[in-house]
Structure 1
Amino acid sequence: MITRSPDLLQSVIPTVVDETRDWQTQLAGAIRDPRDLLARLGLDERWLPGASQGHALFEIRVPEAYLARMRPNDPHDPLLRQVLPVSAETDSVTGFVSDPLEEAAHTPRRGLIHKYHGRVLLIGSPTCAINCRYCFRRHFPYAENSPSRAQWEETLAYLRHDPSIQEAILSGGDPLASSDKRLAWLVERLAEIMHLRRLRIHTRLPVVIPDRVDDALLAWLK
């Protein structure tokens, strides 16, 4: 099993030191109201109707650490445009579908997407730190794919019984939105499956909440 070097992670990810607010508190305290987001950035409320319409379909989520990197008074700031809803999201466009990757037909177990030969994707968490407006899983049935530990055992059994599977991807949502204890347990169980050669982690949390890279995370990565 291959993981990224913890030392490399520490060297490339900026650290935001805030001993009064751990990463879980920052995640829970993310901005979830488009009016608040516009006000914090000093943006005109003419953007509010479109933001509210898009928010009604897929709520905004913006952590303070990510907000701090945006340019105030700039509605075209690229970081803002990733998370600011617009009215165009309510348009009905011919050819657009709610499951563009056709993943719904490839979920043989809870929390498991097996679409490609030799590779599986595991829903490590149904939650993200930010809700990207271009998210291709905004309609994914996370309620049906958030396994309990007993249900994870069924998924692990599925992996054990298919020696063609060599790569597992922790995704979501964002897997690092889960607790380190839960992730460490899952990774340890994956490590017991001898034909698994690679573990990949699809995450943006170290970028949008840098304090997520803490001693507990580095411990189970190591």
Structure 2
Amino acid sequence: MSRLLVEALAVAAKDLRTEFRTRVALNALGLFALTVLAAVSYTVGPYRITAEDRPFLLAVLLWIVIFFAALAGLDRSFVKEEESHTAPLLRLAASPTAVWLGKLGFNLVLIYFLMAILVPLYCILMGYKIQLVGGFALILVSGGYALAVITTIVAAIIARALTRGALFSVLSLPLLLPLLIFLIQGTAGAADGTAETVTSTLRAVLSMGGIMTIVSAMLFPVVWAD
């Protein structure tokens, strides 16, 4: 277990060093998110939505921005290994489980970094008031984890495909749509103070994240070896 953890941390640290040097995924995530946020805040704004519709519609817009920003950058975790021809060396240096955990950790850092910047800006620009702040934070954390787990295994599957950009979206969306629906409902519940909705959302999202973690851990060694 200790060796697995050391290898996973080494993989994540390698990816983070590379990313901070090149900033490819960070730029893709940040530019897409800020561009969409600016467009949404300018065209919709906090005053063009009625008070009754605001909790739900602003939750929809928030998660659409987060999801598509994530799709714009989270596929890089395995693609860059194939493009730089370092995947064979990584197969020799670390076990498949350690590689998967390291890549998952890298994607978690990216998605939480995106959320830490995007969500406060969104709430300020759109005038989005959250009544259950603690529940909202838990939804963001659990939703970010589920999003990272799904995109990590899909990125591994499509890494060597010629049309990987299109394949990443095609394979990710069926898995992400149910998650998106739950997260929108939970965020709307946190905004209007409905604790029952937040609780049921957390159960659903944590269940999805747990199931995808188990499936990914079992599937990744096969994908990585082929």
Taking structure 1 as the reference length, what is the TM-score of the superposition?
0.23
Comparing both structures, which one devotes a greater share of its residues to strand? 1
Comparing both structures, which one devotes a greater share of its residues to helix? 2
Taking structure 2 as the reference length, what is the TM-score of the superposition?
0.23
